[in-house]
Amino acid sequence: MGRPRHRRRLRFLLWAGVPSLILGAVILTVALHDAPGAKSRRVASSDPVAAFLAHYWVYPLQPEGKPPADYSSLTASLAPSACGRCHTRQYREWRSSLHHTAMGPGMLWQFYLYGQRGANSCMRCHAPLAEQKALIAREFHWPNVPAGAPPSYIPPDLAHQGLVCAVCHVRAQRRYGPPPSPGQPAGDTPGLPHGGFTVSAAFRDSRFCASCHQFPADGPALDGVPFENTYQEWRRSRFAREGISCQDCHMPAGRHLWRGIHDPAMVRKAITVSLHVSRRGSRLVHVEAEIVNSGAGHDFPTYLVPRVTARLDLVTPAGKVVRQLASRTIGRRVNLELTRQFSDTRIPPGGRLTFGADLPAPRGPGWRVRLRLAVAPEEWYVHMYEHYLAESGRLPPAALPLLRQAVAQGHAERFVVNMATVSLPPLGVPAARVAN
Ligand code: HEC
Ligand code: HEC
Ligand code: HEC
Ligand code: HEC
Ligand code: HEC
């Protein structure tokens, strides 16, 4: 594997530009460089999905080429808004998704450090079309940009729109999609716009998503666990055995929302909690919280970036939090360089976390204990960004506004969900059990 060689090269590249800033982001680039899919895979011909995917996700993706002459200018366009003129629901939903914002400020400020090769390795998952890479190269004045303005079917903002429709649906100007639902026309129905479409069952298969959401077994890992291991976690879960795919949970009824850890409703769906109160002697009560990963088809959370903190708070009869009784971190804690893992307390599918606290029984009624989850979906990145911000004098000036925006965004994405509350029995009254 080329990992040590890449590391030396990129460190040198950074030293040449911004001395001493050789932390997390650099090594992340190096690590992600060796992501899956780049190598061609040998595939059993008896598995049509694997055979399809082995040709569909071959990196780098090739330019789409000139649209066929019989495409109208609307159907020829790779702009999501053009697809959205006919596929209005998918477009509306996709616009609110993180796939659409995959080229946000958190991504772009780093391109000022990496140069073209490093940036292309990131765009492999964040904006992989050849046309998107060419547009970014133009914007950053990198070499190997095609001469002249892009043709009209390539909108100038295509790269900034992240994972556009064409990333998943268009190869060599041909449209690909899942088997049509009942009542929808077949792909080869004459007269369809964009010359119809090619059908593949791969669109309903978890392996379709693994191309970006899973690192290979020999890829970058800590304590033997790849940085991105979502597909393997899913494979080992009961959901894989029951045939429940990534799409079933993240694209129900074909919805293009892909909600995840950034969404409070999805976090609630992921877990089942219960609070149990018991007596400890005559004057103490014990509160025990149980958190079960009942609804995420992988570890909760799956990625090493989010930080979830479960907290037991003491609440007065007037509803005020007066004290934190106990807390537990749920997630992978790793250093900025991604070379050390301090702990991995993620909850696997079906797994549980229990923790509790003793406290004096209250003197009167109305006192409660509440279980809350504080979710910081981009915590590792926020720490990394803040580290760079502290050395901002060494950064290229153009990167700074983007970096500041990324930090602000990372903070704004944090949220708290109330999961359950249990009343505390006053002195002399028996205890109760509460579940959400
Ligand atoms: C002029 C209208 C129009 C435009 C523009 C258009 N499409 Fe379509 N597309 C259709 C129609 C009509 C069908 C067939 C009916 C259906 O499945 O919705 C179709 C089918 C599809 C399918 C197959 C759906 C399935 O059931 O598998 C996909 C995928 C698709 N289009 C993607 C795109 C993408 C991506 C773009 C933009 C790059 C685009 N289309 C632009 C009209 C359009
Ligand atoms: C071409 C690469 C690529 C493919 C294919 C892909 N994703 Fe993603 N996905 C990403 C990237 C990159 C992000 C992060 C975007 C961001 O936050 O900037 C993401 C984000 C997500 C999120 C949001 C997570 C959160 O933090 O809340 C979910 C859920 C998700 N993807 C599910 C899927 C599913 C399901 C599929 C398969 C149908 C899929 N993805 C296919 C690259 C991809
Ligand atoms: C193998 C695919 C892959 C590669 C390569 C990749 N990423 Fe990501 N990236 C993801 C996925 C998937 C997510 C979303 C994970 C989640 O939300 O749980 C993500 C999320 C992010 C986020 C947080 C969301 C946001 O947009 O602010 C940043 C920042 C990011 N990646 C930067 C990078 C950088 C910089 C590189 C190159 C050094 C890179 N990524 C390379 C798959 C990839
Ligand atoms: C990250 C990959 C990804 C992106 C980006 C994406 N799609 Fe899809 N799309 C899928 C998958 C996977 C399915 C199949 C979902 C299923 O049936 O479970 C699908 C299904 C469809 C279908 C068939 C009907 C349906 O809704 O199931 C159409 C039409 C479509 N997409 C259009 C679009 C358009 C238009 C865009 C951009 C606005 C877009 N897609 C962006 C992955 C993607
Ligand atoms: C049984 C439903 C279910 C299945 C199956 C499922 N997910 Fe999730 N996923 C969730 C829920 C609920 C969350 C929110 C809680 C969380 O982050 O774990 C989530 C969160 C995520 C996130 C957010 C990032 C993070 O760190 O947690 C990503 C990315 C993701 N899923 C991708 C996938 C991919 C890829 C697959 C298929 C290999 C998949 N999911 C299968 C339910 C599911």
- Closest ligand 2 atom number to CA of residue 103: 18
CB of 209 within 6 A of ligand 2: the answer is: yes
Q: Which whole number is the average pLDDT over 320-349? A: 96
Please say whether the beta carbons of 419 and 373 come within 8 A: yes
Compute and round to an integer the Cα radius of gyration of the chain: 25
pLDDT reading at 183 higher than 90: yes
In this predicted structure, what is the pLDDT of residue 294? 98
CB of 113 within 6 A of ligand 4: the answer is: no
pLDDT reading at 315 higher than 50: yes
pLDDT reading at 214 higher than 60: yes
Percentage of the chain modeled with pLDDT above 90: 82
State whether the Cα torsion 131-133-138-143 is positive or negative. Answer: negative
CB of 110 within 6 A of ligand 4: the answer is: no
Band of pLDDT at residue 281, cut at 50, 70 and 90 = confident
CB of 229 within 6 A of ligand 5: the answer is: no
For 407-422, write each residue's pLDDT tens digit: 999 999 999 999 999 9
Band of pLDDT at residue 146, cut at 50, 70 and 90 = confident
Q: Ligand 2 centroid vs 123 CA: distance in angstroms?
A: 13
Contacts of residue 349, Cβ cutoff 8 Å, sequence gap at least 6: 233, 234, 236, 237, 238, 239, 293, 296, 297, 298, 299, 300
Place of tokens 């991504």: 107
Band of pLDDT at residue 22, cut at 50, 70 and 90 = very low
- Take atom 27 of ligand 4 and give the residue whose Cα is closest: 254
CB of 250 within 6 A of ligand 5: the answer is: yes
CB of 246 within 6 A of ligand 2: the answer is: yes
Residues with CB under 6 A from ligand 3: 28-29, 32, 35, 102, 104, 106-107, 110, 121-122, 124-126, 212-213, 303, 305, 378, 381
For 381-410, write each residue's pLDDT tens digit: 999 999 999 999 999 999 999 999 999 999
- Take atom 43 of ligand 1 and give the residue whose Cα is closest: 86
pLDDT reading at 5 higher than 90: no
In this predicted structure, what is the pLDDT of residue 46? 86
CB of 82 within 6 A of ligand 1: the answer is: yes
In this predicted structure, what is the pLDDT of residue 147? 84
Q: Which of 113, 121, 116 is nearest to 22 (CA)?
A: 113
CB of 249 within 6 A of ligand 2: the answer is: no
Percentage of the chain modeled with pLDDT above 70: 88
pLDDT reading at 362 higher than 70: yes
Please say whether the beta carbons of 371 and 276 come within 8 A: no
pLDDT reading at 255 higher than 90: yes
Whose atoms come closest to the Cα of 33: which ligand? 3
